[in-house]
Structure formats: C-alpha cells, structure tokens
Amino acid sequence: MTFKPINVACLGMGWWSDVLADAIQKTDKINIVSCYTRSEDKRNTFAKKYSCAAAPSYEAILADKHIDAIVNTTPNSVHRETTIAAAQAGKHVFLDKPIANTVADGRALTEACRKAGVVLGMGYQRRREGQFRWIKQQIDAGIFGKLVNAESNISRDRLGKIDLRSWRYQAVGMPGGVMLQIGIHYVDVLTYLMGPVKAVSGRSAQLVLPGDNPDVASLILEHENGALSTVNASYASASEYYLMNIYGKDASAYYDMHTGLRWLKRGADKPDAVSYNKIDTFVDQLEEFAAAVRGQGAPEVDGEKATLSLAVMRAGIRSAQLGRRVEIAEIMADPNA
C-alpha cells in the first residue's frame, strides 16, 4: 500500500485525541499538521506534544488547502455540525464513534459527506482485533455452520474515576450511558460476526456511580438470521473485563481478555487454544482511512453502518424506557430518534 501521506488536523483535544494521535505517530501514511479546540491551553499542549500548528479557529483549519482531512473527536452532540462543515470545505473526516447521539444527525452528516464526495471513516477499532478477525474467517468459511447465539461483556471500573463535568458521563451528552459509550463497540462486533440486528430488548440501571446516567446495561439482540445475542456493559465493575462467545451449530468460539481465544468443534471433548495475529487496531483503521482518501478502497465502517449501530443503541434505550421490544425499523422510521 503505497501512496502520498495525507495531512490531517485534529479537532477536539480530549483524552481520546491523544490515543489517535499516538497511533498516527506509528504510521508514515498520515501527518498531523494542525489542531484545534476551544481551550487555548489544551491546543497548545497538543501542538507541542505532536509537533503541529495550533490553529486559531476551526474555520482556519477548514480554509487551509494543505489539510486533507479532519480527525474528529469532538463531543457526540456536535458531530453533525463539525462534520458537515468539514464536508462542505472538501475535507475528509475520520469520526470517533458513535456517529452522533441521534439517528437523524447520523444520517445528515453521512449524506453531507456523500454529497460533497469526501470520505467518512468511523472509529470502530474493536472489530479489527485479531480474535474477531479469526472468528470471522471461520464463519465465512462455513466452519461454524448456522449461527445460533452469542454473548458478550464489556466492563470497566469507573468508581472514583469519573468527572461529572465531562459530556461523556452526562445523559444529555451520552444518552444511554455506558451502553452508548462502550457497549456500542460490542454491538458493532456482534453485527460484524452474527449479521444485522432486527430488534432489541434492553434494560439499564444506575447502581454505583453518581450522576444521571446508567452505569450498567444489558441488551438482547435479535439478528435477522434468527440468532440471538446479548451485550452486557458496566462501569460499576471491580475491574476491566472483555468477553465474547460465539455459538454455531457446528462449532463455537470463546474469548476473554484473561484466557485468550479457544474454539470447540462439534464432537470434540474440549476446546483448543487458538493463536491469532495481533493487530494494532488504531493504526489499522487510520491507515485504511488514509488509503480511502487517496482513492484506494473504502472504510470498513462508513456512515451508513455507523448509523445502523446507533439505531441499535437507540432501540435499546427506548426499550429500557418503555419496557418493550423495539424493532430497528421503528427507530429508522422515526425522524426524532
């Protein structure tokens, strides 16, 4: 994969901007040339750390003809306006998940990028992890047979660690709380492995953390192929934990962060350990985005896929609020969802 590096400006100087900027330092496909956030101190600190210019305004970045793309880590609530502004200025956009807080906003910014002819790449790195790539290969090869069920857990300890002033921990900035913030990653992985979701039943609770947002949530996903899967997400756990088990008629796979990946074929007595390629998922997705900007391929997760993932989240939130099963079609047909 050979092409001229793209020049990017980083927008939004929260902690996640550094995660992506650190990944960019590992590739020769992308150069950070500018940055902007409203806080002068934050943008000057970022500029010094990553040897780029601290722009005086977002408008200055959009007017800079040397900048090819925006790496956007702004709050969810302003994804629509910041991304549409970039598209109208001819800038490609790498946007951190979720695409927005509402399906309407996700659709609007996706359409703006399509209309402007710019690339929209979404930050869903977990599907790129080596264990999930291996499982996907076996599924596509027919090894698992008919998929019937899956279960997942994505949990972190946030007790005493959250800042309630941050939009990430407020219901208005992150509706659905822990499920939208981190659970959406495993919704994306389950869609990637098990297929599109038809309907959701959800429950959420606030058990440990202060504030106004759920710190524990569970979803039951009904996939279009008939399979069922579950997603559990928590910020109230004693430690960080990740689990993903996939069950098929002919084989099953079991992954957790402590014991790695195992799989079991029908008729076998015990599961076998699986070795798989370790992938720097952040570099992988950013290099894919850069290649797409240069006309080589397209992002694996685009605006349409990201909007569907958000629709699953919105269905789960509505289900928890109303105490009933919610179909994705209901959310997609609601202009206010």
What the chain holds in terms of domains, given with CATH numbers, is: 6-125+283-301 (3.40.50.720), 128-278+311-332 (3.30.360.10)
Strand ranges for the chain from DSSP E: 6-11, 30-36, 53-54, 69-72, 92-96, 120-123, 147-157, 197-205, 216-223, 228-234, 236-248, 251-256, 260-265, 272-273, 326-327
What confidence category does residue 2 fall into, taking pLDDT thresholds of 50, 70 and 90?
confident
% of the chain residues with pLDDT over 90: 97
Q: Name the CA radius of gyration of the chain, rounded.
A: 20
Contacts of 178 (CB under 8 A, 6+ apart): 213, 214, 215, 216, 217, 233, 234, 235
Query: Which residues sit opposite 7 in a β-bridge?
Result: 31
Contacts of 320 (CB under 8 A, 6+ apart): 202, 203, 204, 214, 217
> Once rounded to an integer, what is the mean pLDDT over residues 230-256?
97
The pLDDT tens digits for 285-303 are 999 999 999 999 999 999 9
The pLDDT tens digits for 175-220 are 999 999 999 999 999 999 999 999 999 999 999 999 999 999 999 9
Instruction: Tell the burial category of 58 from Cβ atoms under 10 Å away from its Cβ (0-12, 13-18, 19+).
Output: buried
Average pLDDT, the chain: 97
Sign of CA dihedral 190, 195, 200, 201: negative
What confidence category does residue 1 fall into, taking pLDDT thresholds of 50, 70 and 90?
confident
Contacts of 17 (CB under 8 A, 6+ apart): 10, 35, 46, 71, 73
Read off the tokens for 218: 């569970």
How many angstroms from the chain centroid is the CA of residue 251?
28
- Indicate the SS3 state at residue 238: strand
> Once rounded to an integer, what is the mean pLDDT over residues 102-121?
98
Has this prediction a pTM greater than 0.75?
yes
Gap between the Cα atoms of 231 and 215, Å rounded: 14
Q: What is the DSSP letter of 98?
A: S
Under a CB-based contact definition with an 8 Å cutoff, are residues 230 and 219 in contact? Answer: yes
> Once rounded to an integer, what is the mean pLDDT over residues 81-97?
98
The pLDDT tens digits for 18-61 are 999 999 999 999 999 999 999 999 999 999 999 999 999 999 99
